[in-house]
Amino acid sequence: MKEYSKTLLGIIILIMAGVAAFALITFSYREEQVDMLMVNDLVETVKENWDSLDTLDMNRFGTEIIVFSSDNSIVCSTAVHELKDINSADDALREGCICLSIHKESRFMGTIVIPNPDRTGFKTVRIRLLAASGILILVTLSAGLIYGSYVQRTIIRPFRKMEQFAENVAYGNLDEPLMLEQNNLFGKFTGSFDIMREELKASRRRETALKLKEKELIASLSHDIKTPITGIKLLCELLSVKTEDRYLLEKINNIHQKAEQINVLVSDLLTSSLDDLGEMNVDCHDESSAILHQLVTEHDSRNLVNELSVPECMLAVDRIRLSQIIGNIISNSYKYAGTAIDIGYRFRDNYLEMSIRDYGKGISEEEISLVINRFYRGSNAVGKDGSGLGLYISSQLMEKMNGELICSNLEDGFQVTILIALS
């Protein structure tokens, strides 16, 4: 702020000095009077020496002189500057010169022309006035340029830097400091804004660390929950072997199914947490296509699947991850359709295409592109358990195995197609 005050004061002084110089030159003019004694002496001298003017020293009168005869011819002249363009008495009148008539015994002899001192002084002042005006304009322009340069350097440029800084903060780029000098108009704000940036950056680091700990906790709990679930499933399998009571077998089977549902949900939660932590790994190996039938059988707990024969080929897959994908898709068909499930196979370029379709209501066309988003649940999921992670995780796992997962609506159902890379 001090620099701004000093600059403004300097500009004001500069302009005032220019105005003062302009006023001094403008009002320095003083009207000059004609020396009547000199004029009378000149007239008498010319009249007395009319016939021998060329022998007279006309310079002693201290002014330029032109003497015209009665026929307007020049009899005598000392014109150098002010009267150099005067060629007749008429010219002298037009130029505002002083014209003195010479008479001798009522006879007109000629005209004496001398410069008008008042007009000559006015011309001089006019020239000075034009020069002063030019100087004043130059001073004003210089002051304007200096002030404009100062404003550009200390206001506009720092403001643009602050604008860019605010834009960086808005877009989350908190690594760019606000580089401004402390002595500009925004100097007091610069430190505050940069402190704000540092605080936001530290807050974001704390938030990221907190989220990381949260995801690690979820992953740890999910992993720990799977152990008792596995124990419940094994216990159900053991009890189903030990008893032949149909009622008990039905209840044991219900417990087993619920445990499997919990297992799928926990697996999805664990996989999603590992994905956020960058630890959702896929380890692909060459596997026979026969594993597809085995995986389908493992997950078809309701015996609703109608599977066509699997073409013989070698696949580059992670068996555990592929099992998770197929289990998710079949589980979704159980949950949302509850109809028969048809599974077919065919070769497509460098992939084995596995299509899994049901005969439920499907979802709207607007939701097709959204169902593989994290935590998205379609309009058909109202009132049903789920986390909205199954198809998202399956899609991510297929990408990691160099394949693809595609969802589509059919006229009488919903279909999920997975493209499995061939070895």
CATH of the domain at 356: 3.30.565.10
Shared domain for 355 and 300, answered yes or no, is yes
Q: Pairing mode, if any, of strands 285-288 and 314-317? A: antiparallel
Angle between helices 319-336 and 290-299 (to 10 degrees): 40
Spatial contact of 325 and 268, defined as CB atoms under 8 Å apart = no
Taking the C-alpha atoms of residue 176 and residue 199, their distance in angstroms, rounded to an integer, is 13
Spatial contact of 358 and 414, defined as CB atoms under 8 Å apart = yes
DSSP β-bridge partners for residue 99? 113
| pLDDT of res. 418 | 93
For the chain, report the end-to-end CA distance as a whole number of angstroms: 73
| pLDDT of res. 340 | 92
| pLDDT of res. 310 | 92
Taking the C-alpha atoms of residue 64 and residue 83, their distance in angstroms, rounded to an integer, is 7
Which of helix, strand or coil describes residue 407? strand
- Count Cα atoms within 13 angstroms, Cβ side, for 98: 20
- The token duo for 267 is 């697996």
Shared domain for 122 and 66, answered yes or no, is no
Q: Which domain holds residue 154?
A: 1-34+117-171
Shared domain for 90 and 222, answered yes or no, is no
In the predicted structure, residue 213 carries a pLDDT above the cut 90: no
Spatial contact of 259 and 232, defined as CB atoms under 8 Å apart = yes
Cβ contacts of 146 within 8 Å, gap of 6 or more:
7, 10, 11, 14
Shared domain for 18 and 142, answered yes or no, is yes
Shared domain for 216 and 256, answered yes or no, is yes
Give percent above pLDDT 70 in the chain: 78
- The token duo for 264 is 């799928």
Q: Where are the alpha helices (DSSP H) in 277-318?
A: 290-299
Spatial contact of 390 and 332, defined as CB atoms under 8 Å apart = yes
- The token duo for 277 is 């932590």
Average pLDDT score over residue span 354-366: 87
- Number of domains into which the chain is organized: 4
Burial class (CB in 10 A: 0-12, 13-18, 19+), 175: exposed
- The token duo for 109 is 């002899």
Average pLDDT score over residue span 34-38: 74
| pLDDT of res. 75 | 83
DSSP β-bridge partners for residue 112? 67, 100
Shared domain for 100 and 132, answered yes or no, is no
Spatial contact of 371 and 407, defined as CB atoms under 8 Å apart = yes
CA proximity to 265, closest of 222, 211, 219, 230: 222
- The token duo for 315 is 């696949």
pLDDT band with cut points at 50, 70 and 90 for residue 93: confident
Cβ contacts of 157 within 8 Å, gap of 6 or more:
none
Shared domain for 139 and 106, answered yes or no, is no
Angle between helices 117-151 and 2-26 (to 10 degrees): 170
Shared domain for 405 and 325, answered yes or no, is yes
Residue 21 lies in a domain: yes
DSSP β-bridge partners for residue 341? 305
pLDDT band with cut points at 50, 70 and 90 for residue 270: low
pLDDT, greater one: 106 or 269: 106
In the predicted structure, residue 182 carries a pLDDT above the cut 90: no
Shared domain for 86 and 135, answered yes or no, is no
Shared domain for 414 and 327, answered yes or no, is yes
The sheet that has 107-114: what strands, in order across it? 74-77, 66-69, 107-114, 98-104
Residue 182 lies in a domain: no
Which of helix, strand or coil describes residue 405? strand
Average pLDDT score over residue span 57-72: 82
Residue 178 lies in a domain: no
CA proximity to 267, closest of 222, 213, 201: 222
DSSP β-bridge partners for residue 167? none
Spatial contact of 68 and 111, defined as CB atoms under 8 Å apart = yes
Spatial contact of 266 and 225, defined as CB atoms under 8 Å apart = yes
Mean pLDDT of the chain: 78
Summarised one tens digit per residue, pLDDT across range 134-155 is 777 777 777 777 777 777 777 7
pLDDT band with cut points at 50, 70 and 90 for residue 187: low
> Which residue type occupies 29?
Y
CA proximity to 343, closest of 370, 300, 307, 316: 307
Looking up tokens 């940069």, which residue turns up?
194
Listed residues 115, 134, 153: the one ending a domain: 115
Shared domain for 15 and 155, answered yes or no, is yes
Shared domain for 4 and 42, answered yes or no, is no
Summarised one tens digit per residue, pLDDT across range 274-306 is 565 555 678 889 999 999 999 998 888 888 899
